[in-house]
Structure 1
Amino acid sequence: MNPSKNDALVTLRAPDGAQATVSLHGGQLLSWIPAGGEEQLYASPLSVPAAGSALRGGVPVIFPQFALQGPYPRHGIARTRTWSLVQREQGVQGDALAVLRLEDDADTLRLWPHAFALELTVRIAGSRLEMELAVENRGEARFSFQAALHSYWRVQDLGRVQIEGLQDRRYCESDTGLEGVQHSHRLELLPGKAIDRIVYGPASTLRLVELGEATTRRLLIESEGFDDVVVWNPGADHGLPDLPAADWQHFVCVEAAQIEHPPVLEPGDEWVARQALTAR
């Protein structure tokens, strides 16, 4: 990913060496390197910030609509707009954090006719990343919404990846509408095959496991307030113009999401959900 010089980036560094980079374009976490570790997020080198377009990679914020499940722009309006940095702290409690905010304006009201505010908090320390998404109804009428943290996790070889913790949960394949239940403890991804699966029902802990020849990488994913999980990879025949042809092999999206049961906010109310990642 090649942000322009004019594109605002927020860099965080904790006292122990953990690092993160957040773009104000989309309010999007682009990079997370745990202390003493390696990059955990994938960002496409072909994706360039531009007004009205989304960045491919990192952790886009999906709001107020998931995919095309409604009349509004795909994945909503938050990931294509400029957010504001309202707080940044480094080293106060041995960590580093940033708080970004997005509020409605004339342009958003034309697309989605509700007054709202989003706040995204990113906190890093050691081998841990914490993200919190808050949604506030600033208007005079209730509204409902969907939301997700569309996380692109970097892997060396998708064929060696397993996702643990989804067993006994219902799912729907978004591309075909096929429904089923995940019976196995491990979801193994098929090399070259696209997957676009919404898994319903809360699971507080997942594990992304990549089996290496010498070592096994594990990413612990814990969530609170998000009821659903999305697993996505476009496969070998993706044809996406902002993704190198072979890079489908080097990431998988495991997204904390709220899709099946959209929250309903009365005027003045707030909804908050969180995810925490631990690299092992």
Structure 2
Amino acid sequence: MTPNDTIRLTAPDGATATVALHGGHVLSWVPARGVEQLYLSPRSEYAPGKAIRGGVPVCFPQFAERGPLPKHGFARTMAWELMSQEQGKDDALAVLRLRDSEATRAIWPHAFELELSVRVSGRTLDIELACENTGQEGDAPLRFTTALHTYLRVGDLDAVSVEGLSGLRYFDSIKQAEALQRMDLLLTGEKGVLDLDRIYFDLKERPLLVTEDRRQVVIQQQGFDDAVVWNPGPERCAKLADMPPEGWSEMLCVEAANVGRPVELAPGESWVGRQSLSLP
């Protein structure tokens, strides 16, 4: 990718984020006085029509393979437009846009406008995704599922826990069965725990705390009802061409999502979802 394809945000306090126009994709987040917090695969493909592996992909208008569209939809593989970039007194912000085109309407016949806002400041990264149905009165409403597919970088997956999921119903995409999370999620390294693909329903605005030894990341969301926790484990990771064989041990996806109940927008209506990541 060339420098023109990426936007680097630098807040006055030194916090940085990097965003690719390809896919509207956050590639990097380094908090003030901190280190890289996102996992980006060294084998990622930066090519038209290809999804970047790692960072924060935008899944829209379909999550995973739950529908007729390509996996995770088309937003993560299309070129977005930079609308604005600015540095404020305490932060840095970029706003990107994706509109419907002949290519999108060929597979998803709706008029829409997506806006992605990425703000970095201090020890916080805010990512906001907005969608407007730009169709005409009388057009059919559009329905979509979506997620901010955040890859957190970890040093020792065995030392990671996720608090805040206890008591939630989830769908296990590996076992194709529903279950109840009875306690905090502990990643112990046991087979079947690391091969992890779960959709937790009705999280709403409940905060999550991802802990690895002394490091903690607080994750909060608004507008997204669900959360997805994913790690491919060693066997599945070995089959991913754009991941190194050991990549599974260096990441954990914790995603803000709307999967259980699709968002439905009549012409002129809009929806906004946000995921905020912060280090205490």
TM-score past 0.5 threshold: yes
Q: Is the 8 A contact 2:159 2:188 kept in 1?
A: no
Contact 1:166 1:203 in 2 (8 A): no
Residue 148 of structure 1 aligns with which residue? 147
- One of 94, 117, 122 as aligned partner of 1:121: 117
Q: Secondary structure at the match of 2:132?
A: strand
For structure 1, list consecutive stretches of 5 or more residues without a partner in the other structure: none
Report the RMSD for the aligned CA atoms in angstroms. Answer: 1.1
SS class of match (1:109): helix
Superposition deviation, residue 6 in structure 1 = 6.7
Q: Is the 8 A contact 2:12 2:89 kept in 1?
A: no
For residue 250 of structure 1, what is the aligned residue in structure 2? 250
Alignment of 1:183-222 (within 5 A): 183-184=182-183, 186-191=184-189, 193-201=194-202, 202-211=204-213, 216-222=214-220
State percent identity of aligned pairs: 50
Find the residue that maps to 1:237 and give its secondary structure. helix
Q: Which amino acid aligns with 1:107?
A: A
> Aligned partners of 2:86, 2:222: CA distance in 1, in Å?
24
Q: Distance in 2 between matches of 1:173 and 1:248?
A: 18
1:157 deviates by 1.1
Equivalent position SS for 2:104: helix
Q: Is the 8 A contact 1:28 1:79 kept in 2?
A: yes
Q: How many angstroms apart in 1 are the aligned matches of 2:205 and 2:166?
A: 10
2: distance between equivalents of 1:44 and 1:7?
21
Deviation digits for residues 224-266 of structure 1 (CA, Å, limit 9, x no counterpart): 1110000000001121010000110000000000000111100
Partner Cα distance (1:62, 1:248) in 2: 20
What residue in structure 1 maps to residue 133 of structure 2? 137
Separation (CA, whole Å) in 1 of partners of 2:158 and 2:63? 27
- Structure 1 stretches of 4+ moved >3 Å: none
Q: Give the match for residue 270 of structure 2.
A: 270
Instruction: Compute the displacement of 1:203 (Å).
Output: 4.0
Moved more, 175-184 or 9-18: 175-184
- Give the alignment partner of residue 48 of structure 2, picking from 51, 63, 72: 51
Where does the alignment leave 5 or more consecutive residues of structure 2 unmatched? none
Q: Which amino acid counterpart does residue 153 of structure 2 have in structure 1?
A: R
Letter in 2 for 1:165: G
CA–CA separation in structure 1 for the residues paired with 2:253 and 2:165? 14
CA distance in 2, matches of 1:12, 1:276: 16
User: Aligned equivalents of 1:130 and 1:65: distance in 2?
Assistant: 22
Following superposition, the deviation at residue 94 of structure 1 comes to 1.4
1:7 Cα deviation (Å)? 6.1
Residue pair 2:60, 2:73 contacting (<8 A) in 1 also: yes
**2:172 paired residue number:** 173
Q: Specify which of 216, 226, 229 is matched with residue 228 of structure 1.
A: 226
Task: Specify the code of the residue in structure 2 equivalent to 1:81.
Answer: M
Work out whether residues 204 and 224 of structure 1, in 8 Å CA contact, stay in contact via their aligned partners in 2. Answer: no
TM-score between the two structures when normalised by the length of structure 1: 0.95
Structure 2 residue identity aligned to 1:87: S
The 3-state SS of whatever aligns with 1:219 is strand
What is the CA distance between 1:169 and its match in structure 2?
0.5
Structure 2 residue identity aligned to 1:98: A
Residue of structure 2 in register with 1:75 after alignment = 72
What SS class does the counterpart of residue 65 from structure 2 fall into? coil
Measured in 2, the distance between the counterparts of 1:190 and 1:161 equals 8
The residue aligned with 1:163 is 162
TM-score by length of 2: 0.95
SS at match of 2:233: coil
Tell me how far 1:276 sits from its aligned partner.
Answer: 1.1
- Tell me if structure 2 keeps the 8 A contact 1:97–1:123: yes
Identify the residue that residue 102 of structure 2 maps to in structure 1: 106
